[in-house]
A and B are shown apart, each in its own frame.
Chain A
Amino acid sequence: MSSLAIPIGNLTLRNPVLTASGCFGYGLEYDDFFDVSELGGICTKGLSLHPRHGNPPERIAETPAGMLNAIGLANVGVEAFCRDKLPTLRERGVTVVANIFASSVEDFVTITERLSAETGVAAIELNVSCPNVTHGGIEFGKDPRMAAEVTRAVRDATRLPVWVKMSPEAGDIAAVARACADAGADALTAINTIRGMSIDVEQRKVRLANRTGGFSGPALRPVALRIVWDLCGAVSIPVIAIGGVATTRDAIEFMLAGASAVQVGTANFVDPSASKRVLDGLRAYCSERGIDAKALIGAAR
């Protein structure tokens, strides 16, 4: 039987299908649909030091084959996550990647230390690329020096694997990627959303209260694929792809470009079991061809 296991640094994922932060809640919303522990992992909603209410409505707008969101990192905060969510996830054997967000290097470290004190966190994913908040977020991810500084500080604060989520808006993404890899990142995840806009021509009004929002969905896929391809050539650490993955074909496409794994994002909104469908399809694809999932990585390069 084909093996779907994928090594990401010291961590071995049971398969290469994960769910993307912000598109899968805390992984506890899916009991009616499927067993989330079957997935390679789940990336939690971005956790901050304190709970956040998020942005005022409207927060979302649909665009052709995609959508814009400006949620503003509404989340329960790291403490409530550790207290109310993590124990259940741990009990169920879910591979939990804690996505974290802060507006200072110190807060990134504090959140990391809090999560490292718990069992049941498989890796930390640094959100240095959120387009929808005023401070922190994307400004860390656009600049190689700042991205490296955050990565290094978190690296020194934990023994957990550290993944860094790349902004597509960095002038030189490969430079940011190399800086993060040099600073000790175990993997890169790419890409976060790209800022976009939409205006209602009948109301003559910008549709999102935040004016701009992160663009995601199938329409983003070719852009994400190109960036993932470039990053895989620029760094030797694993790259985990995000960007419009909705089907098994999409996941395989990213893996052939060099990604070690994928995260399913917006597709979860359309179908709560989208990640499970992608996984089942990948299993079938590999077993029909008698190959391990690992063999797909970079096979089109």
Chain B
Amino acid sequence: MSSPVLAKRRLTTLPLLRRESIGGLYHVLTFEDSEGTLALPGQFVMVRGAEWGDAPLLPRPMSYLTGGNTPSILIKVIGEGTLRMGRAEPGEPFTLLGPLGLPWRSPSAGRRVVLVGGGVGIAPLLFMARSIAEAGGPKPLAIYGGRSSRDLPLDDDLEDLSELVVTTEDGTRGTKGRVTDVLAELLGPDKDVFTCGPDRMMAKVAEMCAARDVPCEASLETPMACGYGVCLGCPVPTTEGGYLYACMQGPCVDARRVDWSKADHAPRKLALSGRST
């Protein structure tokens, strides 16, 4: 498998084209990029309001939901940065640094792709599903879970692009339980798993795949300051000892490389600011 050619990283100031509130704390922000964003599924972008001044100071890492002339991101309002993003109006300028990081690897030949997502973790998986569809590939299986029916942003979009099974912990939609309950029944030796969601979920998915010798690629989420390899704020413990950096050696990695027992299972705030909602 050859490594993908990654586009040159650019720092651009782009106007917000539209913000769609999609219920609860979730919004899709779409920007206008006349030059075009050459992002691959799984890559991410550092996003910051161009008029934020000195606070919140740092840009926020967000997976691309789409690229091209209308790059977009899916956000959940959890802190000061995302709160501002969730209130932004069309025309407001944002700085976007991207595309960053390693994209999803190509699916292995002869295996059925299974997308396993939780909450906002759906963004890079949806981008992947869309690109599989555009390439005329076979529909992937998808297992998408949340705490309740309110925590399944963009489930309609995923439904169109996959054979979808939805789970909720409270049973308000789909199968009551967790994505891993469904995965346990579907996971066979012919599968190829791609996962993004809370650490705890990905750890379990990785463990199940490793036990069945099924390849599993995970998209990591950590706080980070720069997104391009210099702040060293995004270490993820590895099985071989030491750390990999989610920004440059990720965010998409072979799940077997991650020492999930040492992963921080606390919710990782994309927004680092103290004043959360």
Q: Return the contact of A74 from the options B224, B226, B232, B274 (Cβ within 8 A).
A: B232
Which listed residue (A25, A32, A60) contacts B224, Cβ 8 A? A60
Docked-complex contact A62 and B230, CB < 8 angstroms: no
Task: Give the number of chain B interface residues (Cβ < 8 Å).
Answer: 39
Q: How far is the CA of A273 from the CA of B228 in the complex (A)?
A: 12
Separation of A71 and B234 alpha carbons in the complex (Å): 10
Indicate if the CB atoms of A57 and B235 lie closer than 8 Å: yes
Residue B210 at the A interface, CB < 8 A? no
Bound CA span A272–B230, Å: 10
Contact residues in A for B225 (Cβ distance below 8 Å)? 60, 67, 69, 266, 269
CB < 8 Å A-B pair total = 105
What B residues does A218 contact at CB under 8 A? 54, 57
Tell me the smallest distance from the CB of A198 to a CB of chain B, in Å. Answer: 7
Segment at the B interface, from A145-153, A166-174, A188-196, A200-208 = A200-208
B233 and A29 within 8 A (CB): no
Q: Is the CB of A269 within 8 A of B231?
A: yes
Interface set, chain B 14-71, CB cutoff 8 A to A: 48, 54-59
CB–CB A201/B232 < 8 A: no
Q: Once the chains bind, are A269 and B237 in contact (CB under 8 Å)? A: no
Contact B235 A67 (CB under 8 A): no
- Secondary structure at the B interface, as helix, strand, loop or mixed, is loop
Q: Complex: how many Å from CA A207 to CA B140?
A: 38
- Choose one: A65, A200, A271; the contact of B95 (CB below 8 Å): A271
- Give the residue of A53, A63, A202 whose beta carbon is less than 8 angstroms from that of B243: A53
Stretch of B4-12, B117-125, B186-194 at the chain-chain interface: B4-12
Question: Which A1-58 residues sit within 8 Å CB-CB of chain B?
Answer: 23-25, 29, 32-33, 45, 53-54, 56-58
Is the CB of B266 closer than 8 A to any CB of chain A? Answer: yes
Q: A29-B229, A54-B243, A56-B237 are in contact. Are A62 and B272 (CB under 8 A)?
A: yes
Size of chain A's interface in residues, with CB distance under 8 A? 41
Q: Which of A53, A71, A203, A246 contacts B233 (CB 8 A)?
A: A71
If A56-B237, A66-B57, A269-B58 touch, whether A29 touches B232 (CB-CB below 8 Å) is: no
CA of A177 to CA of B10 in the docked complex: distance in angstroms?
41
Q: Which of A57, A62, A217, A266 contacts B264 (CB 8 A)?
A: A57
Cβ–Cβ contact A203 & B266, under 8 A: yes
**Measured CA separation A25–B263 after assembly (Å):** 25
Name the residue among B11, B55, B229, B235 with the largest chain A CB count within 10 angstroms.
B235
Complex Cα gap A66–B272 (Å):
11
B237–A217 touching, CB < 8 Å: no
Q: Which residues of B contact A200 (CB under 8 A)?
A: 274
With A61-B272, A67-B57, A201-B274 as given contacts, are A269 and B264 in contact (CB-CB < 8 Å)?
no
Nearest B residue to A209 via CB reads B264
Q: Is the CB of B276 within 8 A of A202?
A: yes
Q: Which residue of B lies closest to A62 (CB)?
A: B272
B59 to chain A, nearest CB (A): 6
A60–B233 touching, CB < 8 Å: yes
Q: How many angstroms between the C-alpha atoms of A298 and B184 in the bound complex? A: 69
Taking CB atoms and an 8 Å cut-off, the chain B residues in 96-147 that contact chain A are: 97
Cα of A296 to Cα of B54 in the assembled complex, Å: 26
In the complex, whether A211 has a CB less than 8 A from a CB of chain B is no
Tell me if A270 and B58 are in contact (CB < 8 A): yes
3 closest Cβ contacts across the A-B interface? A62-B272, A60-B233, A25-B230
Would you list 9 pairs from A and B whose C-beta atoms are within 8 A, ordered by A residue? A32-B9, A32-B10, A59-B233, A59-B235, A62-B58, A62-B271, A71-B232, A270-B59, A272-B97
B interface residue numbers (CB < 8 A to A):
8-11, 48, 54-59, 95, 97, 222-226, 228-237, 241-243, 262, 264, 266, 271-274, 276
Known: A57-B222, A59-B232, A62-B271. 5 other contacts (CB 8 A): A45-B230, A56-B262, A63-B273, A65-B57, A200-B274
